[in-house]
Amino acid sequence: MEIIIHNTLAWIESSKYFLLYLGTLVEGPVVMIISGFLYGLGQFKLLPMYIILILGNFTADIGWYTLGRYGTRNFVFKYGRFIGFTPDILKKVEHYFKLYNQKILIITKLTTGFGFAAVVLIAAGMFKVPFKNYLILTLIGGFIWTALLITIGYFFGNIFEMVPTSMKILLGILIISIFVLSIKYIQKYFKNKKI
């Protein structure tokens, strides 16, 4: 059993940047904060970690745009009424998106954790925001957002190091719980807002 644990830990250590990339594809903001936390504990080098997080986030953004551009437009216009997306609402959203797509994309990238990033990025594809503009705006927003989340995680790591060993598990659970509950509350708040 010890050999299996040792080999698993060795594999995780040797693959940690690849795992970071995969994690960012699935749950970017959480992985970015945890990465900053682990960087504060000496588990990552800053520049490779930052670049991998940016690449993972950027890859996910391209995926969302592609899904919107080629996979959802007809589906949403045909079946969206069953979940509240009437043609009138879609036209209204499209109108605002065409007027303010740059502001919408930057704000979305700077607030990724608030629960609407995927929807907005898919909408950018649906409403055919020029791909070059989309790439530039999401990349700029991604650089800023990633740096902010790494910084937050780093400071949590520093605070964590000052806590007595007996309290570290409790503090870790508390911090993660507060973060997850805060994100859920913000998502719920914004989902209840009207367009």
- Decide: pTM greater than 0.85: no
Distance CA 121, CA 109 (A): 9
- For the chain, the domains span 2-191
- The pLDDT value recorded for residue 195 is 47
Taking only the tens place, the pLDDT of each residue in 89-116 is 777 777 887 888 888 888 887 776 455 6
pLDDT along the chain (195 residues), means of 10: 76 85 88 88 91 94 89 72 67 80 81 67 85 90 90 81 74 75 72 58
Q: What is the pLDDT of residue 143?
A: 92
Cα 99 from Cα 120, distance rounded (Å): 14
Torsion 176-50-53-183 (CA) sign: positive
